[in-house]
Every structure is written in C-alpha cells, then in structure tokens.
Structure 1
Amino acid sequence: MSFAACSLLLALPVQAQQGQAAPLSRPNPYARKAVDSGLAEQGKNLFSVRCAFCHGSDARGGESGPNLLRSSVVLNDEDGEKIGEVVLHGRPQQGMPSFDLTAQQIKQIAGFLHSIPVSGNQRREAALIIPVGDRIEGEKQFQSKCSSCHSVTGDLKGIGARTTDPRTLQQTWMMPGMRGGDPSVKTPQKTVTVTKAGMIVKGDLLRIDDFIVRLKTDNGTIRSFTRATDDPKVVVHDPLKGHLDLLSSYTDKSIHDLTAYLVTLR
C-alpha cells in the first residue's frame, strides 16, 4: 500500500474503514427554523413588552436576563411547548416572574425567537432609538385604540413630563405595571366573581388553576372554592385585558408612532 493510500485510510472514520457507512454529521442545533413571518412579527411585539427589558431586544441577553438564543429550552422547542412551560410558571429562583399569556401568544413569542439567526458572528442589534415615530399618526392611533379608556386631559394628562425616559414611557403604555415601566404607575388587581348555588362572592384574585380559585373579599376574608368537584361559575376580571388584546396588533411603526405622540403630552 502506498503512503498516500495509507494516509487516506487513516483519515477515514472507523466505520468506513470496516466497510460501514460513515455517520451523518449532527444537525446544527443553532440553525434558523422556518417560521411564519406574520407570527414572528406579532411575537416580536409581545417580546418587546414582556421580555426585552431583561433579555434584550434581540434576545441575546439584557440587563438581568440571559441569552435566550443559546438556551436549551429555546433550542429544543418546536412550537412554544417548552418555552410556554417557563413563561407560564416562571423561574422564581432566578428572579423570573410568571406571565399569564394565551397559547397563541406563546406561539408568537416562540416564532419570534425561532426566527432570529443564531450565528456566532451575529452582531447585536443597535440600541433602540426612542422615539422615532410620527406623532400625528400616533395621535390617530390613540383616538382609535386608546381613547375609549384613557384621556389626555384626564389620567394621561402630562404623562410625557411625568415619565421622561421614552423607553420607560413606551413600556408603560404598552403594558402598565410590568418590569421596565414607570413604577409609579399602579394597575388595579385582577378580581374574580364566583357564583355557587346562588351565592355570589367577589374579591381580589389570589390564585386560580384547574382545581381551585382563591380570593380576598373587601373585608379581608380569604375564600377558597374547589373547582374540580364543586364546579362554581368563575369569571375573572383583568383590568389589563384591553392592553393584552391589542399587543398582537401592533407593529414597530405603530409602537413608535404612539410613543412619539405620548412624549408630547406635557
């Protein structure tokens, strides 16, 4: 056997030397997944409100949260099933709260994360410049989407002067009470109405799952109802429902336009 042939043989995998097919190379776990662009865009808007303050606008790590694009949870997720477990239950030991999102909203966030190229050479996105929108268009949006609940001469009077940092202002109007927003803006507690055998009990919602609902009444009494057997009628009242319903409808432009308008309210 010639020296060249011997060198070639040594370079082959053991299986190939023994007449077996060489194993296929392992798939790149960081490859970009095929994602519907509309789903990813909706997820980007949700991510910017709920997650970007900690994990960065590009999901590569932020002020306190880790890089999500190299997270085993994200890499092993297909359609939000693994990401959803973390989002819905949080990781209290690491300082991550739980988020009450719908299955569709979780799919949207997962779609956004899966749409981001995870190249080792990928450069971080430049810092967001806020505001960059059209305040006239922002005013039109306010009138069509916000004015039924909020007023620029009432609860939002002077908001641009009270919340002077545009990024904080943007976070505050998109989802009041969330981390990254103005801490002085307090949102009402979720409330719940439980109807059982003709008895109606109302109060602040403390806990709800498939088995139990717990609330605190106006006089401070804690009441619990078993859902699995007693099956009472339970209606949850979320003061932020209007904000949640609008999240998936925003685009980057509409977010910046509305922020540009609110900045002028002084």
Structure 2
Amino acid sequence: MVSASWLLAVGLGCQILVAAGQQQQPDRAQSQRLYPALQRPSGDVELIARGRALYGISCRACHGIDLRGGDLGGPNLLRSQLVLRDQAGELMGPVIRGGQVGSGGSAMPAQPLSDEDILAVTAYIHDVLGTASRQGGPPLGEAFELDILVGDPAVGRDYFIENCSSCHSPSGDLQGLAARISRPQELQNTWVRGGARTSERPPVTARVTMPSGETVEGVVERLSDFLLVLTDPAGRHRSFSRQGENPVIELDDPMAGHRQMLPRYTDTDIHNVTAYLATLK
C-alpha cells in the first residue's frame, strides 16, 4: 500500500490546471545566455579544427564527445575548476603531458602529444567552453518547434469524457484553453503535469478525528506514517502523533486524480488528449 506521506509529497508537487493560462513563455534569449567569464576572442579556426580531431582520438573515450564525461569515467571538463581557470593551456598542458592521479584514486594517463598538439587540444576545449550555456540549455540558433499534434482529437475527446470530465469541463474551467496556451508543447506539458509551472499550488487539507470525538481541520504542512502537522483556520500549528488508525485522518488532495492517472497514460493517450485540448479555442 502506498504510504500517505508519499501521496502528500507527490500531491504537493503538482499544480492546478485551472491557472494554466497564466504561465509565461520562457525567454529563449535568456535561456541561451552564455557565461560571461568564459567568453574570449575567437581562436584560430585551423588550430581549433586540429584540436577537435586530436581530442576525438586521445580524449573522447574518457571525457565524452561533449566534454561531459565518457564511457571510461573521465570527469566533466565543462565543470572542471582546472579547465575553467586555464587561460592558454598553462594548467591543462602539464596534466595532458604528464598525467594526473585524482584524490579518489582515479588516474589520467599521460598523453603522447607534442606541445603543438596540446595547444590545439586546449584551444578546442576553450572553444567549446565559450559556447556553454546553462545546464540543459538548448542549442544556439533559431528555435525548432516540434509538431506534436499527431493524435486523434475525436479519440482524445472520448478519453477526456471517460477519465477527466468529473473534474474538468470544456465549457467551464477549460473553455478557451488552447487560446490561453497556444503552443502545443506547452499545452501538453501543462495538462500532463496537472497545471502550469508557475501556477499556485493547491493546498492539501486534512480533517483529524481524535479518539475523544474532537475534530480538527486545517492545511497539511507535514505528513508521515508517524506524524501529522497542520495549520488550522486560526493560524495555529497543530501536531498529531499517529498510532495505527488513531487519530483518523481524512485527506482532501485536489491533485489526487492527476496523480493517479500518471502511471496509466500511454504515449497514444497523451497525443490524443493533446490534440483534443488544442481544439478548445
């Protein structure tokens, strides 16, 4: 049986669908912003090309094609403090030439490269660093929008009626949804997530019935198999130890339906429902 604490943790992590239209689209220019400290004048094109070839031969297996670590367990060079402090190979060069033993016992073997080859490799690494954006940032260039409206709207409507209509209505809370969220990918992410990323999270409330018959209601702040902490309408924090079925706790989680549906969705279900919701303009 799934514990109440797990249910609460997932429920509190979700967001309501009603406020989905308020989500602002991300600023692509900001998301692609490069790290100023890594910027430098463009290097020699031929030297960088030579370094790229040498890196592929001597470094790629350990450090990966994207410098983030490879199959042989080499460290992520994009986060290496030695690489980030290096200016023109003065720090990377000795390590490439002579090897290095890490604090955890890992070792980098010396590479049989000439000084000119080492200079080329470091120039290539700096060229890659110069284009580094935030973690997980999109590639530089124009945005590429995938066509995800590949489902059947009619089938999606039937699925919606069967599984979603008890809480949502195309003539009620979802009226004009596709007009408020015009980008299909954002629309799909919003309904699968259960709400916009920036929307206010709905509170989970609880009604506690003590063995004496006394009842206390409030917003859940913490819930585990052993303890419940809530804030009552007067703003007071109340704590209740849990022993078996005492006290009796009744949870009201507005996101319970979405949470229960998540493991049941198939890709086809998601595509069909998204295609249907895109018609609600």
TM-score scaled by structure 2?
0.46
- Higher relative CO (Cα under 8 Å, sequence separation at least 6) belongs to 2
| Higher Cα Rg, which structure | 2
Q: What TM-score comes out, normalization by structure 1 length?
A: 0.48
